[in-house]
Amino acid sequence: MKHFDDTTLTLTQAASAFAALGSEQRLMILQTLVRAGPDGLSMGALGERTDVTGSTLTHHLKFLTAAGLVEQAKRGRSIVCAAVAYDMINELSEYLLRNCCADADCHHTDSEHRHG
């Protein structure tokens, strides 16, 4: 499984990842792959679980793969897709909150960021 090694996303990396997630269908596809775990799902199984199939599924996977969030590999006669950048997904949320209240007179703890 590939891991995102950088501890600080650049603006360009964050924008690319958020752009890839800027579609309800792509977000649903990524959530489905995260739920499936590191073994991933075949294209057929992914299509069945998300109700996105054929060229539409291929189109959305292209965006997610280009952003480094999903990886595709041929296993036998199947193409298997897996979410591979769990730490990058976590870093995206931290990217949004990194400078929380930096220009305001308030201070939040990490637990307040994560829980409300």
pTM of the predicted structure, to 2 decimals: 0.74
Which residue has better confidence, 93 or 44? 44
3-state secondary structure the chain: CCCCCCCCCCHHHHHHHHHHCCCHHHHHHHHHHHHHCCCCEEHHHHHHHHCCCHHHHHHHHHHHHHCCCEEEEEECCEEEEEECCHHHHHHHHHHHHCCCCCCCCCCCCHHHHHHC
pLDDT of res. 115: 46
- pLDDT band with cut points at 50, 70 and 90 for residue 110: low
Residue 57, pLDDT > 70, answer: yes
- pLDDT band with cut points at 50, 70 and 90 for residue 29: very high
Fold classification of 15-88 (topology level): Arc Repressor Mutant, subunit A (1.10.10)
Domain ranges for the chain: 15-88
- pLDDT band with cut points at 50, 70 and 90 for residue 3: very low
Residue 78, pLDDT > 60, answer: yes
